[in-house]
Amino acid sequence: MKIKPKYDIEIVHEAIESGNYYVHQSVLRQIKNDFGWRGRDLITFFLKLIVKKHFYKQMPMKKKPPYDYYGERPAIYDVYKSNDIMDEKVYTHFYFNEDQLIIDSLHKQD
């Protein structure tokens, strides 16, 4: 049985397009260091994600969710890997806190 993403990628795209997302500052530093990207590059990347091509797995949050997390416990990440978007090998995971997309990891694949 193939595992499907927890979050509909269209809802992820809508959150990005509407600005209903939060990116941890560490992610912004990481994308600058790994790829030379800025915030608009992150938006471009996320809008190009395709489930059939890039979805990797679901993963429970290993650490306790942040104190302001209002979703299920443990929080579930969707993990995506891409080798073809913007000519970079990218690993990312994200989740929704209620209706806001939270991007808390995006870095070069090992």
Question: Domain of 47: which CATH number?
Answer: 3.30.2310.40
Query: Is 2 among the domain residues?
Result: no
- Cis peptide leading into 74, omega within 30 of 0? yes
Residue 4 lies inside a defined structural domain of this protein: no
Assigned domain for 15 exists: yes
pTM, rounded to two decimals: 0.92
Take residue 74 and report the two structure tokens written for it: 């443990």
pLDDT at site 89:
97
What is the model's pLDDT at position 2?
Answer: 76
Within a domain: residue 71?
yes
Question: Is residue 44, in this structure, part of any structural domain at all?
Answer: yes
* Contact indicator for 44, 64 with CB cutoff of 8 Å: no
Residues 6 or more apart in contact with residue 22 via CB below 8 angstroms: 100, 101, 102, 103
Domain with 79 in it: 9-108
Confidence (pLDDT) at 16: 98
Residue 30: what are its φ and ψ, rounded to 5°? -65, -45
43 and 77 Cβ atoms separated by less than 8 Å: no
Spans of the chain below 50 pLDDT: none
Report pLDDT for 50: 97
Structural domains in the chain (count)? 1
**How high is the pLDDT of residue 1?**
67
Question: Is residue 57 assigned to a domain?
Answer: yes
CB 77 within 8 A of CB 94: yes
Predicted pLDDT at 69: 85
